[in-house]
Amino acid sequence: MSNAPTPTRLMLVTPLVADAEAMAFRLMQAFAGGDVAAVLLRLSEGDERSKIERVKRLVGPVQSANVALIVEAPALVATRGGADGVHLTNGPEAVAEARSSLKNERIIGAGSLRARHDAMDIGEAGVDYVMFGEPRPDGSLPLLAAVIERASWWAEIFETPCVAYAPDAESIAALVETGAEFVALGAWAFDEACDIRALVTQANVAIAAHAARKAAR
């Protein structure tokens, strides 16, 4: 349940990555800003071998920072690359297939959940987390109020952790208030104009402030 003593933690959702070296540098900057629980790696187009190589390049620096690397890719790419898990967006059948092949050896997360029943169906399929609020395939975002409502509803009722996707820095505090186990900072956090180290620090300050208020009640 969401009222467990562990505070919210951060997930970083990368833009589509073609250059693993450049992304490794940006991630090290982010980790210098404070606690990060996981990185959700999104890969640009390429053949299977090139995708696996990009995962392999990022596994070392991410895992050495005690951060989990989850890949939005087929399970084969994630496992051969040495990642900690996969993120799926194509429904319960894909989750069941991944669970069958990965057993309990890898994290399986799910996103692109447009309605409450979609989230419940995915939860019953055996995922390790659900994500709300990430960009749609056309790049548009759901209303922040809808993400807050959905994350609050899930965190209050269900045991499976949820990730609330922050569309910008200003929304982080409100999403922490939902009780979601994770708040995700998306591709916008990796923009060249963004100080990702300072952003991670800011997000952790918001998390700590929420935990202090909760403890004082």
Rounded to whole angstroms, the maximal C-alpha distance in the chain is 53
Number of DSSP helices (H) and strands (E) in the chain, helices first: 8, 8
Neighbours of 129 (CB within 10 A): 23
pLDDT at 216 over 90: no
Domains of the chain: 9-216 (3.20.20.70)
Q: By the 8 A CB rule, do 44 and 17 touch?
A: yes
Nearest to 9 by CA among 32, 39, 52: 39
* Surface-to-core class of residue 80, CB atoms within 10 Å of its CB (0-12 exposed, 13-18 middle, 19+ buried): middle
Instruction: Name the 3-class secondary structure at 151.
Output: helix
Q: Residue 163: what pLDDT?
A: 98
What gap in Å lies between CA 13 and CA 60, rounded to an integer? 18
Per-residue pLDDT reduced to its tens digit, 1-30: 334 457 899 999 999 999 999 999 999 999
User: What is the rounded average pLDDT of the residues 187-211?
Assistant: 96
Q: Which pLDDT score, from 0 to 100, does residue 72 have? A: 96
Residue 164, strand partner residues:
132, 183
